[in-house]
Amino acid sequence: MPDWSGVGKILLLMGGILALLGAFLTLMEKFPSLGGGFGWFGKLPGDILIKRDQFTFYFPFTTSVLISVVVSLLLYFLSRR
């Protein structure tokens, strides 16, 4: 049976890193003098945006695929020993 004792610590660490990354990106967006942020992120070709009179639908399809590929590659390279 595998040892699962370290999984909780790893998940907490990953959650903390994601929270810090989110705070950093939010600050970069608020203060353009810090580097301008990622204004292009979420507005890539292939992202779906439908605007009507009182309705807006946005689905970041290309952004989701890009994030999935980057995270998959990162996990692949980190899992190789």
Interval 11-66: pLDDT, tens: 888 899 989 988 887 777 777 665 655 666 667 888 888 999 999 998 888 888 98
For 65, residues 6+ apart whose C-beta sits below 8 A from its C-beta are 46
CB 26 within 8 A of CB 41: no
Domain that holds residue 62: 40-81
Name the band, by pLDDT with cuts 50, 70 and 90, for residue 69. very high
For residues 15 and 52, state if they share a domain. no
- 3-state percent helix, strand, coil for the chain, nearest multiple of 5: 55, 10, 35
The pLDDT value recorded for residue 37 is 56
Confidence of residue 7 (pLDDT cuts 50, 70, 90): confident
Are residues 49 and 77 both part of a single domain?
A: yes
CB-CB contact of 57 with 48 (8 Å): yes
pLDDT recorded at residue 36:
58
Q: Does 13 lie in the same domain as 49?
A: no
Q: What are phi and psi of 30, to 5 degrees?
A: -75, -35
Our count of domains for the chain comes to 2
- Same domain, residue pair 46 and 31: no
* 33 shares its domain with 23: yes
H-only helix segments in 37-81: 61-79
